[in-house]
Chains A and B, each alone.
Chain A
Amino acid sequence: MREIYTYRGGPGMIAWALHRLAGLGVILFLALHIFDIFLMQFGPETFNQLLFLYKHPLFRLMEIFLLFGLLYHALNGLRVILLDLFPATARFQVQLWYVQMVIFAAAFIPLAVLMGIPIVRELFAV
């Protein structure tokens, strides 16, 4: 873990560390998701009982983090593929990351707000 903050640093480093963190977050969720869908095996009663987890406000908040991880990993992965296919673009990799983050914000913020409104409504009964 020490490499994360002792490596040369800079935006490229943050982009890379976030990529890994986001990827690990998504894979953890995916494992849980495969497990819960496997429970379809045991019929509607068992399966529906366990869905309370997904309806819990805390879990719905986590879902916003999932979208964050998914979108960030997708866009940053696209940038990595671009850099791999066209090594000349490496000169602009930091600028590319800024462009990527603008696209990310434009997609993530509205969706996160849409997802957040029902949670706030439920928690504060407004």
Chain B
Amino acid sequence: MATRMISRRGVPVQPRSRFELYAWLFMRISGLVLIFMAVFHFLYMHFYLQVDHIDFNVIASRWQNPLWRLYDFLLLVFGFTHGMNGARVVAEDYVPRMARRGVVAILVLVYLVFVFMGAWIIFTFRTP
């Protein structure tokens, strides 16, 4: 939430980098996008395609349309970036100071690996 850092004398503290500002802004923008994209994805997959009917062929035929690949890619990037940044914020609140940097580094690593895995399959998948 929008909080300005105030020093004890009541003077606003100038943060060392603007990273947190951009992270905050990103959470709002991606959040708005995800309300539509993620909820639609859930309802479409669950109620329209139906989970018990989804299998390899259903996904393969869906990916024959490049627009679905683009949709899935955007959902992957927005969703996972939003989620992992959220996890970072939670970790910074609760992880003891000495372990904090290590935990954040692990989160960054997990983030990069999973985005790569997802993007890889979305873009390299060929219908057999």
Which residues 38-88 of A have a CB within 8 angstroms of B? 38, 40-41, 43-44, 47-48, 51, 54-55, 60, 63, 66-67, 70-71, 74, 77-78, 80-81, 83-84, 87
Closest residue on chain A to residue B72 by CB atoms? A37
Dominant SS among interface residues on chain A: helix
Known: A35-B117, A40-B121. A51 touches B39 (CB 8 A): no
A23 and B86 in contact, given A40-B56, A40-B59, A63-B51 (Cβ under 8 angstroms): yes
Contact (Cβ within 8 A) B52 A34 = no
Number of B residues contacting the other chain (C-beta, 8 Å)?
38
Dominant SS among interface residues on chain B = helix
Residue of B nearest to A90 (CB): B1
A26 contacts partner chain B, Cβ-Cβ < 8 Å = yes
Interface residues in chain B, defined as those with a beta carbon under 8 Å from any beta carbon in chain A: 1-2, 28, 31-32, 34-35, 38-39, 42, 46-47, 51-52, 54-57, 59-60, 76, 79-80, 83-84, 86-87, 90, 93-94, 110, 114, 117-118, 120-121, 125, 128
